[in-house]
Amino acid sequence: MSRLSARRSLRVSRQDRRMIQAFRRSPYDREIVRIGLPALGALAADPLVSLVDTAFIGRLGAVALAAVAIASAIYAAVFAVFNFLEYAVTPLVAQSIGAGDRDEAERFTVAALTISVMGGVIAGKRVVVDYLRQKARPFLFSSATTPADTAACLAAVDLLEESSELVEKLWANTKYFKDGMAELGFDTGRTETPIIPIIIGDDDLTFLTWKLLFDAGVFVNPIISPATPAGCQLLRTSYMATHTDEQLDEIVDVMTRVGREANLIP
């Protein structure tokens, strides 16, 4: 080996060493690798699973295979529609939280929930958020909403612009139920929206209360850790402008009976 080649090899070797040392020192790079490696595994496994499914269905005949293809196409279209704003808004909310602007993050989230009836939020270090914005397939390849969904959203906006009646009724229903829960002794936290939590604080008791309410004809969503911090397990209740006073009174009555049966209120 010539002296010049040896110097080049030495220079490359030193560069590699510096890169390795920088990688070891950077917690951000390691965090990105921890996120990326499982994703690569999932990407590699996905086509293999599809091939196995296709081979299995193929043995059942052409009709069954064609049915799977049609069902998959319909599922993919529906999935893309309902996840468009969810994935589009996620990095925007995360970036706002990372910058300390919670008001902006809340505006993004409310806008996504209002239009798409779905939402997703991820909060993390700025380098992770930037990585997801550039590399996440659902964000990069999100499709536009269908004409029917777009027309429905525009019609909803038109109704809100024509009259404030629905909005006023929604907030009246929200205040009515929240005041009723507070009067009974339920903990509703610091909510300021028509989504009112009933904080239980225990996994088993949360599911027990949910089952009692369900059996009594009231549907709510049980939320436990890690979806909520330990000690803040809750029942998620939601209200609409179309709820009548009679329906709200019935819910309050059921909540009173179930709350006492579960020893949540005196």
pLDDT tens string 198-213: 999 999 999 999 999 9
Entry pTM: 0.47
Tokens of 9: 């090899």
Arithmetic mean of pLDDT, 167-193: 92
Tokens of 207: 């599911």
Distances from the Cα of 261 to the Cα of 182, 200, 224, 266, angstroms: 18, 14, 21, 10
Distances from the Cα of 238 to the Cα of 53, 123, 152, angstroms: 39, 25, 21
Amino acid at 72: S
Arch. (CATH architecture) of 165-261 = Alpha-Beta Complex (3.90)
Q: Give tens-digit pLDDT for 241-264.
A: 999 999 999 999 999 999 999 999
SS3 120: coil
User: What percentage of the chain exceeds 90 in pLDDT?
Assistant: 32
Q: Give tens-digit pLDDT for 93-146.
A: 667 767 777 777 777 666 666 655 444 566 677 777 777 766 665 555 555 566
Q: Where are the domains of the chain?
A: 29-145, 165-261
DSSP sequence for 184-232: HT---TT--SSEEEEE---HHHHHHHHHHHHHTT---EEE-TTSS-TT-
Residue 234 — φ and ψ, nearest 5°? -150, 170
Whether the predicted pLDDT of 76 surpasses 90: no
